[in-house]
């Protein structure tokens, strides 16, 4: 699990699903877990084929997110197996519109439905 | 003409190199340019209007941003530099390539699929023809960018994702190595994989409808000032799937040809059936033609095949017989052409 540090500023941290490489259709869910618990604070759902932003603000004040875990579950499928054979997805965290860090998964597009799973732990500086 | 062909070939090579040399740090799949499919390159109106092939069918397929077709490779008994060459571009797809989203594209695909082609032909007497073609695709069920196709893919992935999230949150398990979850996913995938594969990869034989128009000018030499009207051709072709491995094309072609004082109409009703897969397929073609100029009724029957040599080059060969029922004569026909397109995105 990747640890990402953020500040206690006015703006909340934001989390984003991003396809860096790979021509794929992806449907994803970002889950925000309570600190040291399996209780879910928030879920964010989307896909990469529409023009809606895939970036979501976390709850305010920023300090409530200290110690929380974010998981990304993305189900995807390659759309151009001739030209696009590798994928790279990122779970980005931003604060004050600046990157705070990310976790990434890189792999091979198989031509079958696939799943990407990533975790990030948020720690306040 | 040889010089212009050489310049064109250089441009194609440069465009290919450019497309491969691109470094694309991020892929935004909501943009049309990133959703390409490597189905057969459609026939180019400006090429077919030059009357270099025996048939009058204009084959529809998913639009390409750029395509080149070359034909007439025979010079007596030897293979020569092609005498006919045509280029087709999708001006709107190319100019809006960096910003056109799938949502915009879906509002009016026929507009974005508008393509312009230019073709040239020189014969043994050095007479030249130039053709300008315009075509669009009215509907294309094999185009992954179509709303119904993308909705199928997205709905499947959403259901898969929802099922996975529900299982994880209910069972409070770490999902990575959970055998039960993997089993559930594989059972679910097995139900939908066939449909999904067909939508994403095997839509080469999906239903499509293309319409096209081409103007041909002829010149007794290679100078532009001597170009005169030669013909105006209209095509409409409907493609229908025959199960998963076949396709039926039903065409209509009307040609108005002649000079300013006298013009003639030619009507063709071609039908072609493909069998095979996206990379290799054979076809059987039949065509009825009525030519007003010499009041003849003709029928063409031919067999052919199409092969994907590489991701960017397709070859097509056909041979058949044309029967003229008015004067009871027959002649053999053949056609070989190479079709080039830039693979992937520009």
Q: In this predicted model, what pLDDT tens digit does every residue of B8-33 receive, in sequence order? A: 444 444 444 444 344 445 666 667 76
Report chain B residues touching chain A, CB-CB < 8 A: 25-30, 34-38, 101-103, 144, 150, 153-154, 156-158, 160-162, 164-165, 168-169, 172, 175-176, 185, 189, 192-193, 196-197, 200-201, 311, 343-344
Using alpha carbons, select from B126, B133, B132, B134 the residue that is nearest to residue B226: B126
Q: Please tell me whether the overall predicted TM-score, pTM, comes out greater than 0.80 for this model.
A: no
Q: What is the pLDDT of residue B335?
A: 86
Interface contact flag, A31 B165, Cβ < 8 Å: yes
**Which residue from B29, B160, B193 is facing A48, i.e. has the nearest CB?**
B29
CB pairs under 8 A between A and B: 111
DSSP string, B228-277: EEEEEEEEEEEEEEETTTEEEEEEEEEEEEE-SS-EEEEEEEEEEEEEE-
Using alpha carbons, select from B227, B225, B259, B255 the residue that is nearest to residue B121: B227
* Paired strand residues for B286: B271, B301
State the DSSP code for B98: T
Interface contact flag, A51 B162, Cβ < 8 Å: no
State both tokens at B220.
């007794």
The nearest CA of chain B is from the CA of A119 a distance in Å of 11
Residue B107 · residue B94 · CB < 8 Å: no
* CA atoms within 13 Å, Cβ hemisphere of B218: 16
Average pLDDT value for residue range A16-39: 90
In the predicted structure, residue A101 carries a pLDDT above the cut 90: yes
The nearest CA of chain B is from the CA of A18 a distance in Å of 9
Q: What is the pLDDT of residue B72?
A: 61
Tell me how far apart the alpha carbons of residues B135 and B138 are, in angstroms, rounded to a whole number.
10
Interface contact flag, B101 A31, Cβ < 8 Å: no
Residue A80 · residue A24 · CB < 8 Å: no
The nearest CA of chain B is from the CA of A42 a distance in Å of 12
| Cβ atoms < 10 Å from Cβ of B7 | 10
**Which residue from B27, B101, B153 is facing A23, i.e. has the nearest CB?**
B27
Residue A101 · residue A93 · CB < 8 Å: yes
Please state the three-class secondary structure of chain A as a single string: CEEEEECCCCCCCEEEEEEEECCEEEEEEEEEECCCCCCEEEEEEEECCCCCCCEEECCCCHHHHCCCEEEEEEEEEECCCCCCCEEEEEEEEEECCEEEEEEEEEEECCCCCEEEEEEEEEEEC
| Cβ atoms < 10 Å from Cβ of B329 | 11
Chain A neighbors of B38, CB-CB under 8 A? 80, 82-83
Q: What is the pLDDT of residue A32?
A: 94
User: What residues in chain B have per-residue pLDDT under 50?
Assistant: 1-5, 7-24, 75-76, 175, 345-346
pLDDT digits (tens, 9 = 90+) for B230-259: 899 999 999 999 988 899 999 999 999 986
Q: What is the pLDDT of residue B279?
A: 85
Residue B65 · residue B55 · CB < 8 Å: no
Interface test with B, best of A1, A21, A29 (most B CBs within 10 A): A29
Interface contact flag, A80 B36, Cβ < 8 Å: yes
State both tokens at A60.
């305010």
Chain A neighbors of B311, CB-CB under 8 A? 82-83
In the predicted structure, residue A45 carries a pLDDT above the cut 60: yes
Interface contact flag, B311 A21, Cβ < 8 Å: no
Residue B52 · residue B72 · CB < 8 Å: yes
* Paired strand residues for B116: B89, B134
Tell me how far apart the alpha carbons of residues A76 and B142 are, in angstroms, rounded to a whole number.
20
Residue B110: which H helix or E strand, with range?
A: helix B109-112
């Amino acid at each position: 699990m990747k640890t990402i540090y953020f500040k206690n500023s006015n703006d909340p941290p934001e989390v984003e699903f991003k396809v860096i490489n790979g021509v794929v259709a992806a449907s994803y869910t970002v889950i925000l877990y309570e600190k040291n618990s399996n209780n879910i604070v928030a879920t964010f759902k989307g896909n990469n084929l529409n023009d809606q932003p895939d970036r979501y603000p976390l709850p305010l004040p920023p300090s409530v997110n200290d110690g929380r875990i974010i998981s990304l579950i993305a189900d995807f499928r390659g759309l151009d197996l001739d030209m696009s054979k590798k994928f790279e997805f990122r779970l980005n965290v931003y604060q004050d519109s600046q990157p705070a860090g990310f976790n990434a998964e890189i792999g091979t597009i198989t031509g079958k439905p696939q799943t990407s799973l990533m975790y990030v732990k948020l720690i306040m500086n | 003409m040889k010089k212009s062909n050489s310049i064109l070939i250089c441009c194609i090579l440069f465009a290919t190199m450019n497309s491969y040399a691109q470094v694309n740090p991020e892929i935004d799949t909501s943009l049309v340019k990133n959703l390409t499919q490597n189905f057969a390159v459609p026939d180019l109106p400006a090429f077919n209007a030059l009357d270099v092939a025996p048939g009058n069918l204009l084959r529809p397929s998913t639009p390409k941003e750029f395509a080149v077709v070359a034909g007439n490779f025979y010079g007596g008994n030897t293979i020569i530099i092609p005498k006919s060459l045509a280029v087709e571009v999708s001006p709107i797809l190319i100019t809006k390539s960096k910003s056109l989203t799938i949502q915009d594209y879906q509002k009016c695909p026929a507009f974005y699929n508008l393509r312009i082609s230019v073709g040239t032909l020189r014969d043994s007497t050095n007479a030249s023809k130039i053709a300008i073609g315009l075509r669009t695709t009215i509907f294309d069920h094999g185009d992954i960018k179509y709303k119904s196709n993308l909705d199928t893919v997205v709905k499947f992935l959403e259901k898969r994702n929802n099922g996975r999230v529900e299982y994880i949150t209910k069972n409070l398990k770490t999902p990575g190595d959970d055998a039960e979850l993997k089993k559930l996913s594989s059972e679910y995938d097995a139900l939908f994989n066939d449909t999904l594969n067909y939508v994403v990869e095997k839509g080469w034989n999906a239903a499509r409808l293309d319409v096209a128009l081409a103007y041909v000018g002829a010149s007794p030499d290679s100078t532009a000032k001597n170009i005169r009207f030669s013909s105006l051709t209209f095509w409409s072709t409907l493609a229908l799937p025959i199960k998963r491995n076949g396709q039926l094309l039903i065409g209509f072609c009307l040609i108005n040809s002649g000079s300013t004082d006298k013009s003639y109409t030619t009507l063709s009703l071609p039908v072609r059936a493909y069998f095979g897969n996206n990379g290799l397929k054979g076809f059987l073609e039949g065509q009825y033609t009525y030519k007003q100029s010499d009041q003849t009724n003709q029928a063409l029957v031919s067999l052919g095949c199409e092969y994907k040599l590489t991701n960017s080059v397709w070859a097509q060969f056909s041979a058949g017989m044309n029967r003229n029922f008015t004067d009871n004569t027959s002649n053999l026909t053949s056609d070989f052409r190479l079709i080039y397109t830039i693979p992937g995105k520009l």
